Amino acid sequence: MNIVLRPGRASDASACSVICYEAFKVIAENHNFPPDFPNLESALGLMDYALANKDIYSVVAEVDGKIVGSNFLWLHTAIAGVGPITIAPGYQNAALGRRLMEQVIQRSTELKMSAVRLVQAAYHNRSLSLYMKLGFDVKEPLSVIQGPALGLSLPGFEVRPANMTDLEPCNELCFDVHGHDRRQELQEAINNGNASVVEHLGKITGYTTQLGFFGHTVAESNNDLKALIGAATTIAGPGFLLPSRNSEIMRWCFSNGLRVIQPMILMSKGLYNEPVGAFLPSVIY
């Protein structure tokens, strides 16, 4: 095959979204799991956003002039996130995935990123093997959790919409838990009206950019995390990603009618600080 890798363009969104939708659908259904993108429109929305965002590096693979795959490197902080990487079903298992991954890893090296992270579908053995070969380490087993909004509150833990005056205390909290903040993502979520904070004993003790696949959550304690999950009016996308080692929250979710949709794995190449607190990663990291 005559493979060409080039930067993505906004005009690639339509072709890339079809590949993204079909690739996730085929792989998921082959393993008897629901696809991450339930329809073409959801894939198109992400491709439109990612290909037009100056803080997301995109690479497109072409074979004989035809787009057959893409990958993305999210550059919002010192930690880069990878994904989604997708290859058209007829071109899978031909080393295109490795080429696309090597391209974004090279870009992260050029930009001197502290680490590169991704979230991988645990049932997909080939991608796990590829990422391990490329130097990624398994850091956290995850469970995708979905179900109806709980409408629960915890006494002493007040959840409210976040505003710009919350940005700095939330960034400090994220730094305390993870060793880095996610300022740009949080700021965007506040501007879009998606972010919430929880307050306990007069101070912010947790926040979420959105309870769902592309949102992340940081909290001092499991009670703060319960308050944020309980107050969410919806669980966006396929679900939120809960570290499976957090047995207390897993059991609490089950007792309140939530369920596991699929297993995933958080992987990292480079710097990784063991979190000190409760958290929910996004599907990017």
Nearest to 231 by CA among 264, 255, 207: 207
Encode the chain (285 residues) as per-residue pLDDT tens digits: 789 999 999 999 999 999 999 999 999 999 999 999 999 999 999 999 999 999 999 999 999 999 999 999 999 999 999 999 999 998 887 789 999 999 999 999 999 999 999 999 999 999 999 999 999 999 999 999 999 999 999 999 999 999 999 999 999 999 999 999 999 999 999 999 999 999 999 999 999 999 999 999 999 999 999 999 999 999 999 999 999 999 999 999 999 999 999 999 999 999 999 999 999 999 999
Question: What residue ranges do the domains of the chain occupy?
Answer: 3-113, 146-280
- The pLDDT, as a whole number, for residue 92 is 81
Q: Which fold has domain 146-280?
A: Aminopeptidase (3.40.630)
Residue 202, CB-side half-sphere exposure with 13 Å CA sphere: 0
Residue 137, CB-side half-sphere exposure with 13 Å CA sphere: 7
Do the domains 146-280 and 3-113 match in fold? yes
- The pLDDT, as a whole number, for residue 252 is 98
Query: ∠ CA(239), CA(121), CA(151), 5° rounding?
Result: 10
Exposed e or buried b for every residue in 176-203, given b needs 16+ CB within 10 A? ebbbbbbbebbbbbbeeebbbbbbbeee
- The pLDDT, as a whole number, for residue 186 is 98
Q: Which residues have a Cβ under 8 Å from the Cβ of 94 and sit 6 or more positions away?
A: 1
The CATH superfamily label for domain 3-113 reads Gcn5-related N-acetyltransferase (GNAT) (3.40.630.30)
Helix (H/G/I), strand (E/B), else coil: 124 = coil
Amino acid occupying residue 214: F
Judge whether 242 and 147 are in contact, CB under 8 Å.
no
- The pLDDT, as a whole number, for residue 190 is 98
Judge whether 23 and 16 are in contact, CB under 8 Å.
no
